[in-house]
Amino acid sequence: MVETSHRSGFLPSLADPFRSLGARVADWFAPASEASADDGGYRISMEVPGVADSDIDVTLHEGVVTVTGRKQSTRTEKGETWFFSEREFGSFSRSFRLPPDADGDRIGAALKDGVLVLSIPKRGDTAPEGARKVAIEKG
């Protein structure tokens, strides 16, 4: 005997319409980012379309760089027989732990075409901050 129920996929779940909405909200609150490195340093790129540079803060604390921001935009379109208005508001925060050889004192940030790029040069020495080499005495 075959048993069917609303959980087996026969009838759609009441939450189905909200699944894609949840993904869209999550995408906004965690902007897409990518990190890369080369011989000279590190680069973090983050998509923040519609966010003004005055609404973005970049901070560094104990080797962690944090980007916070707030989006406030309004778009209005008018036609002969219709009117449409869309508003988007929200805040986000992303944090990235820097590698030990990153020079956090020289982080640079640039915003262009909705992409925030953080440039973090490497230090000349590769010892972690606050570390020191201990000499070994020969006996």
Question: So what's the pLDDT on residue 5?
Answer: 44
Contact residues for 13 (Cβ-Cβ < 8 A; gap 6+): 6
CA distances from 114 to 28, 55, 59, 132 (A): 13, 12, 19, 41
Judge: domain 33-121, CATH 2.60.40.790: yes
Question: So what's the pLDDT on residue 13?
Answer: 56
Phi-psi region of 9 (alpha: psi -120 to 50; beta: other; left: phi over 0): left
Question: So what's the pLDDT on residue 89?
Answer: 72
Question: So what's the pLDDT on residue 86?
Answer: 62
CA distances from 4 to 12, 14, 17, 35, 124 (A): 13, 17, 22, 48, 66
Mean pLDDT by 10 residues, the chain (139 residues): 47 54 54 92 92 91 92 68 65 92 92 93 70 65
pTM, to two decimals: 0.63
User: At residue 65, what are phi and psi to the nearest 5 degrees?
Assistant: -95, 130
Alpha-carbon distance 99 to 34, whole Å?
A: 15
